[in-house]
Chain A
Amino acid sequence: MDRKRSYYEDVALFDSKAKLFWFFVLMAFLVAYPHIVPSNSYIYMANLMAINIIVVLGLNLLVGFTGQISLGHAGFFCVGAYATITLMIHAGLPFIVALPAAALISALLGFLLGLPALRLEGPYLSIATLGFGISITKVIGKMQFFGGRQGLHAPELTIGSWNLDTDLDFYYLAVGLTVLLTIAARNIVKTRVGRAFIAIREDDIAAQTTGVNLTYYKTLAFALSAFYTGLAGGLFAFVLRFIEPEMFTLLMSILFLAMVVVGGLGSIMGSITGAVLITWLDLQLRHILTIPYIGDWLRTLSQSWFSITGVSNIQYIVLGTIVVLIMVFEPLGLYGLWIRAKKYWKTWPF
């Protein structure tokens, strides 16, 4: 018990050689991934996953770590996407400047939304953020400067002399940024600012009496969360190379939140697994109607029972059911599973 220990161990990213080893294994896998998958659609899927991981990290910092809810993150995603493209087209900025600038614009909006949020909690905050998410896309959709309802086409994506015109190029950009932002988020929650966030979630009175400025840290959490989400939005603009206001729906905000909750509130690992799992499910379920026999049956089921418009919506029903089941069996989300697995393996030889 009395061994002299370095206090750095408590916060070190890799507190053991084994962790460092696995980190390098993961990095090697990420580098090799696009070359070992059978088709381009896997790269496209990984790109979406990377973008969603960034969003979910940001949203988890706000919801899971600081304890403030948001139902409007599609709004920040939208702002990031539009700001990046607009800054490139109209201000002639290179992508590498436009992307962080767009994230900062989103962060500024996050800060402004954080101000009224100081007086709101729980359901009231949900409604306020929901209002923001819905109205921001309507505002953008009305302005010709932003392409109105026709949307905007993304310009060519280059960084210096690197022309990122394929999914493969974009993969390295998106995954590289995701790794950096994951480590940054993990470092933030392990140090002073992150502790202040968690303290506010746990007990805001006690947090204040230990010297945490509630106004500052609550708005900072909103700004930081919006920064991550805005940056992810800027990347998203180049996935389809086209954006329109209708893409950034309330459903999108809810899916982001589902990724946070399914992965595990207040967990960096959970943010990653939640985003990966739900992105995968969402993509897979889009093809659910093409499955032989079951597909036709599901279409009939959907159209006769669940859909007013006749457009089949069964994939969302299946997705929702899976989310409900995960929460019923593991309320802590995938992160809870991970903790239990870790415990299991620790005690395994005995």
Chain B
Amino acid sequence: MSFFKVENLSVWFGGLAAIDGVSFEVEPGQVFAVIGPNGAGKTTLFNCINGIYKPGKGEIFFKGNEIVGLKPDAVARMGIARTFQNIELFDHMTTMENLMLGRHIHMKTGLLRGAFLWGKRSFAGREEMVHREKVESIIDLLELQSVRNKFVGALPYGTQKLIELGRALALEPELLLLDEPCAGMNAEEKQDMIFWIKDIQDELGITVLLIEHDMKMVMDISDQVLAINFGRPITQGTPQEVQQHPEVLAAYLGEDA
């Protein structure tokens, strides 16, 4: 049984195939990168994995369980978290509260126990404290202390990307989907992000599925790379192997030139 497996996945919008027969397997602990030009179907692939889209054909297995057909919240509960290409944060909530949403699946307080938040000893009070402490450790890890109690909507782009990463980490996932985590960042912020992704892999042991356009970064941190174009798989292998593939060369050198 493999850790994560996509089998013969296809998605159509109208008559057009956004994904066309994609298959791959991810080993636990890997950083697995998906590359491809704009409109290749990378984000669509993520949307299928976490249940936002239902694929027209194919299967996705996570730790041996079929997850196609599950709702996004059920996928989250299974241990898959993600970030978005176009940041999706809760703008009118603070950084702390955004990250607390990441703890939602690990908490139990419902309507009644929430309404009776009578002091530190009440169930809700105790639970809040335990999980706020967890979130605080993520805030420390990502060095977000200075924006802890700020509403996230008005924060700089790079900070928002980081908060989104923090929220995903707060779910304590086994598989983390990162959709262009470095897009729009400056060189320094990029360097930090690379550092954190390595940390997530090494220290937290989380498997990472990564979409990224920056080839240097892909080379730097991924163990396996899958290249797709027009929804079809082109090649898969180690970063070095994939980089040598003529179609990838053409796509990326062509883009740079």
Binds A, one of B29-37, B123-131, B195-203: B123-131
Which of B73, B100, B127, B145 lies in contact with A213, CB distance below 8 A? B73
A92 at interface by CB-CB < 8 Å: no
B57 at interface by CB-CB < 8 Å: no
B92 at interface by CB-CB < 8 Å: yes
**How many interface residues does A have (CB within 8 Å)?**
35
**How many interface residues does B have (CB within 8 Å)?**
46
> Measured between C-beta atoms, what is the minimum distance from A271 to chain B in Å?
15
Cβ contact within 8 Å between B109 and A191: yes
Q: Specify which chain A residues have a CB less than 8 angstroms from the CB of B110 in the assembled complex.
A: 192-193
A220/B92 contact (C-beta < 8 A), A8-B125, A192-B104, A209-B76 known: no
Cβ contact within 8 Å between B167 and A202: no
Q: Specify which chain B residues have a CB less than 8 angstroms from the CB of A160 in the assembled complex.
A: none
Binds A, one of B77-85, B209-217, B219-227, B245-253: B77-85
B71 at interface by CB-CB < 8 Å: yes
Cβ contact within 8 Å between A203 and B171: no
> Measured between C-beta atoms, what is the minimum distance from A277 to chain B in Å?
24
Residue of A nearest to B77 (CB): A211
A195/B97 contact (C-beta < 8 A), A10-B128, A211-B171 known: yes
Binds A, one of B1-9, B111-119, B185-193, B233-241: B111-119
Q: Specify which chain B residues have a CB less than 8 angstroms from the CB of A10 in the assembled complex.
A: 96, 128, 132
Q: Specify which chain A residues have a CB less than 8 angstroms from the CB of B109 in the assembled complex.
A: 191-193
Which of B76, B145, B167 gathers most chain A CB within 10 Å? B76
Cβ contact within 8 Å between B104 and A8: no
Residue of A nearest to B50 (CB): A209
Cβ contact within 8 Å between A7 and B132: yes
Cβ contact within 8 Å between B125 and A210: no
Residue-wise, chain A 201-221 has the 8 Å CB interface mask toward B (1 for contact) of 011011111111110000010
Chain A facing B: main interface SS: helix
B230 at interface by CB-CB < 8 Å: no
A224 at interface by CB-CB < 8 Å: yes
- The CA of A193 and the CA of B125, in the complex, are separated in Å by 14
B27 at interface by CB-CB < 8 Å: no
Residue of B nearest to A206 (CB): B88
Which of A205, A214, A220, A266 lies in contact with B111, CB distance below 8 A? A220
Cβ contact within 8 Å between A195 and B101: yes
- The CA of A147 and the CA of B167, in the complex, are separated in Å by 55
A6 at interface by CB-CB < 8 Å: yes
B52 at interface by CB-CB < 8 Å: yes
A190/B117 contact (C-beta < 8 A), A11-B128, A211-B77 known: yes
> Measured between C-beta atoms, what is the minimum distance from B199 to chain A in Å?
21
B63 at interface by CB-CB < 8 Å: no
A199/B93 contact (C-beta < 8 A), A7-B136, A209-B82, A210-B101 known: yes
A187 at interface by CB-CB < 8 Å: yes
Q: Specify which chain A residues have a CB less than 8 angstroms from the CB of B97 in the assembled complex.
A: 195, 198
A208/B125 contact (C-beta < 8 A), A188-B115, A195-B100, A199-B101 known: no
> Measured between C-beta atoms, what is the minimum distance from A268 to chain B in Å?
13
Q: Specify which chain A residues have a CB less than 8 angstroms from the CB of B75 in the assembled complex.
A: 209
Q: Specify which chain A residues have a CB less than 8 angstroms from the CB of B50 in the assembled complex.
A: 209
B91 at interface by CB-CB < 8 Å: yes
- The CA of A185 and the CA of B114, in the complex, are separated in Å by 9
- The CA of A255 and the CA of B136, in the complex, are separated in Å by 43
Segment 110-167 of B: residues with Cβ below 8 Å from A: 110-111, 114-117, 120, 124-125, 127-129, 132-133, 136, 145, 167
Q: Specify which chain B residues have a CB less than 8 angstroms from the CB of A190 in the assembled complex.
A: 114, 117
A192/B93 contact (C-beta < 8 A), A210-B76, A211-B73 known: no
B22 at interface by CB-CB < 8 Å: no
> Measured between C-beta atoms, what is the minimum distance from B139 to chain A in Å?
12
Q: Specify which chain A residues have a CB less than 8 angstroms from the CB of B61 in the assembled complex.
A: none
Q: Specify which chain A residues have a CB less than 8 angstroms from the CB of B84 in the assembled complex.
A: 206
Q: Specify which chain A residues have a CB less than 8 angstroms from the CB of B92 in the assembled complex.
A: 198, 202, 266
- The CA of A193 and the CA of B51, in the complex, are separated in Å by 23
- The CA of A191 and the CA of B107, in the complex, are separated in Å by 10
**5 cross-chain pairs, A with B, having the tightest CB-CB distances, nearest first:** A211-B105, A7-B132, A211-B76, A191-B114, A208-B72
- A192-B107, A203-B90, A210-B105 known; 4 new pairs, CB 8 Å cut-off, are A192-B110, A195-B100, A203-B91, A208-B52
